[in-house]
Structure 1
């Protein structure tokens, strides 16, 4: 078995640079889709149901793309064709999503918005999995922590800019951030246009600057014969054989993958709640907006939302972007030290402490409620917001630390445990552990919010905090694979 040649910093950078743009678009989606759907007529209970589209797309698409990319070798590479396809489709979705009201003659704006959410998320998922596998393919084992840490850094830089963009367009450029019923704020519309351009441009950089290994080179590094693998992959299998093979992969998956699944459940359950409900939570808890102004039936009965309430909701929506940018910025800074900390203290300890910090961050939301107006200097502009909104930067530190670890540590722990000829499909299967908890969260979170918490959204954020703490505890039970168990996994899957 021959080791992969070490890569320079900029080679590793180029491998993941496109992820900056993909995450730019993903951040715009996360920070603004609840706001968009709410403006188009969705109530708090149904928001999480609309968001179910995202994890369902991931559940269906990533394993398929992973398996397909394992078998694909052409002049563009192995993973690059799928990354490029996902980027092009996501770009189209981002251009169409904010224009939902224009299609009212053919389809209701809210339904069209939900469809574009499906298109965008399906496209993001087409790109996500090959990007993860690309790092595993290209980066030597000794540089794996560094590879995923750089990827996490770029992801978070993209998330910072994407999250803050609507706020910048409102408070620096001067675009309007309020919307009438059934419409979308101009600042959000233009943010999506810019995001689409950045996404496509950065992905093109990675595709044309990263030359993937040929099958012969790649399998030589893994101690396998490329011709034997090619013959195996070329066999035409019936649907029953394919399903049997898939179930066999599930059965023989590394134990570390199964235990990581528990951690992933608690952490992604919490993240889904944050993305869906941070906007109504801080609008109610910090800006003091009554729950009734999130009820479309009530709003219709009184003839619309008063201007002052619309302004407050717009300000809260913009501030969510600032907060999401903040946790992404903190995550980017933490990711700079993540590889060194993991090498020094161990991946498990760093992973567990990071998730615990995120849980404490969510739980501390309840303690922050000061509504006194405060002038804030954000360097690019000054703005008056409630003091409690400013104080929320503190819990975002913990959330950022957790996010950085979630993006890197599971994949760094998992990468060395996977057989070379099944890396893509196993990375795709591993996405089940991301999609499933979000689906469960989407099904039950809205019901819990309306029936148990009476639509007081701050309480659902507390539930997210408790879930993240359980994730931190679950890390204790992970046992990382040794070189011997890795070799055994390869032998078992090859049988």
Structure 2
């Protein structure tokens, strides 16, 4: 394929994008904006909520950093187990409803992290974060695979990756603009925003028409151009 033909194929794929995939964009924006903000601000939030410090050079902040790393290991381990446990759940209840529950659990956990007073409480909340992370790594791709024509899997999977990158770019551009004016310069408020977005993402997921495969493209189905 020439460069021109490649861009033409991308253009046509975007034009013909299945409705459920378009609907997924809203949920993806919410969940990836929230998760990217979580990664950036969780250490600072833990420093304030559990260790009572915002001094990045203090011993307490180093403890906050270590605690955050431990929490990250916990939620990734939970996500690993959760990804396996979700397989039969998705088969029974569908990816859409399962993913909505995962995002809701993650959102609830983010909303409660600023109120966590001990590392133990934080580690318990990693159950929700891990479940949400497991869903983000699997459920959305199940919903995508259910709605795109098989002969266009490659192009649509590539475009779908933009649904991850673009929210991160938006977060990078907008967070500096709202961090102090709207969030009071408090990292705990960033997690509250993230939690709210996760819950909004759960609602957006329920609006996706998942499970309806798009018809095969006529030219590809008949072997023509």
1:214-253 alpha-carbon deviations (Å, 9 max, x no partner): xxxxxxxxxxxxxxxxxxx4xx45x3x5433321110111
Aligned counterparts, 1:210-221, within 5 A: none
- Superposition pairs for residues 43-82 of structure 1, below 5 Å? none
Conserved 8 A contact 2:107-2:197: yes
Residue correspondence of structure 1 range 14-25 to structure 2 within 5 A: none
Conserved 8 A contact 1:417-1:489: no
CA contact under 8 A between 2:151 and 2:220: conserved in structure 1?
no
* Native 8 Å contact 1:363 1:466 kept in 2: yes
Match of residue 491, structure 1, among 214, 218, 223:
218
Find the counterpart in structure 1 of residue 15 from structure 2.
251
Relative contact order (C-alpha < 8 Å, sep 6+): which is higher?
A: 2
Alignment of 1:440 onto 2:188:
no
Matches within 5 A, 1:402-441: 402-441=132-171
**In the alignment, is residue 330 of structure 1 matched against residue 60 of structure 2?**
no
TM-score (norm 2): 0.90
Number of the residue aligned with 2:89? 341
**SS state at 1:284 partner:** helix
Q: What is the CA distance between 1:492 and its match in structure 2?
A: 6.5
Runs of 4+ in 1 over 4 A off after TM superposition: 492-495
Gap runs ≥5 in structure 2: none
Instruction: Give the alignment of 1:82-481 within 5 angstroms.
Output: 233=1, 236=2, 239=4, 241-290=5-54, 293-294=55-56, 305=57, 309=58, 311-369=59-117, 388-481=118-211
How many residues are paired up?
A: 222
> Is 1:418–1:490's contact at 8 Å kept on the other side of the alignment?
no
Shift of 1:490: 3.2
| Structure-1 separation of matches of 2:82 and 2:6 | 42
Match of 1:63 in 2: none
Q: Give the CA RMSD over aligned residues.
A: 1.9
Report the Cα offset of residue 419 of structure 1: 3.4
SS across alignment from 1:452? coil
Alpha-carbon distance in structure 2 between the residues aligned to 1:244 and 1:335? 36
Encode CA deviations 1:317-341: one digit per residue, 9 max, x unaligned. 1111111111112222222221101
Question: CA contact under 8 A between 1:267 and 1:468: conserved in structure 2?
Answer: yes
Structure 1: segments with no counterpart, 5+ residues:
1-232, 295-304, 370-387
* SS of residue in 2 equivalent to 1:451: coil
Q: What is the alpha-carbon distance in structure 2 between the residues aligned to residue 480 and residue 423 of structure 1?
A: 16
Work out the CA distance in 1 between the residues paired with 2:157 and 2:169: 19
